[in-house]
A = this chain, B = another copy of it.
Amino acid sequence: MNAITLLDYAGVTVFAATGALAASRKQLDIIGYLFLASVTGIGGGTFRDLILGVPVFWVGNRVYVLICALVAVLVFFTAYRIESRYKLLLWLDAVGLAAFSVMGAAKGLAITGSPVVAIVTGVLTATFGGILRDLLAGEPSVLLKPEIYVSAALAGAAVFTLGALVGLPPYAADLAGFVA
């Protein structure tokens, strides 16, 4: 479970950072940073848990909200540096997508046993946070450039689900979905 938990924290951190950067582009105050970082970081997983009918992950574990808050504060004080490293951010965004599509697919598969549902929850978990961020910040949705976004999430979720179905041990399936 260690690899999954690490992926999970990494994904929340990275997405929270992209939310905080959106707040920076809109020149919001610290509260706007906190809000957008949280929505982006935990929005996708929240929606996944609601649909699967399980308790929302961050209600039982305050670490997630605190990660979002910490990232928001860090970006608030360092945004001018991070924005000049925009390519690093795009790469990190891809890491977050890969991590969350695997996480979402793994949870969907574990709870329902259905590969179709696993793929849908993988895509949802990976994309919903970013979609909310763009809606709330009034920017064009990332969905409208899907070649680099939803496609990546779909590939990650599908590869993980296939890997799990053909009997790969979880760690190998994680890795395959993540690399895809």
Residues of A that sit less than 8 Å from B by CB = 26, 28-29, 31-32, 34-36, 38, 46, 50-53, 55-56, 58-60, 62, 65-66, 112, 114, 116-117, 120, 123, 127, 131, 135-138, 140-141, 143-144, 146-147, 150-151, 154
Contacts and interface: CB of A to CB of B under 8 A. Distances in A.
Task: Label chain A's interface by main secondary structure.
Answer: helix
15 contacts: A26-B144, A31-B146, A31-B147, A31-B150, A31-B151, A35-B150, A50-B50, A53-B59, A58-B120, A60-B112, A62-B114, A65-B116, A65-B117, A136-B141, A136-B143
B140 A138 contact: yes
A56 B29 CA distance: 32
A31 B62 contact: no
A125 to B, nearest CB: 14
Contacts of A34: 154
B112 A59 contact: yes
Contact of A120 (B36, B50, B65, B140): B65
Nearest to A66: B116
Copies of this chain held together in the complex:
3
A177 B120 CA distance: 32
A29 B140 contact: no
A154 B31 contact: yes
A80 to B, nearest CB: 20
Contact of A38 (B29, B53, B66, B120): B120
Contacts of A151: 29, 31
Contact of A46 (B51, B112, B131): B51
A59 B117 contact: yes
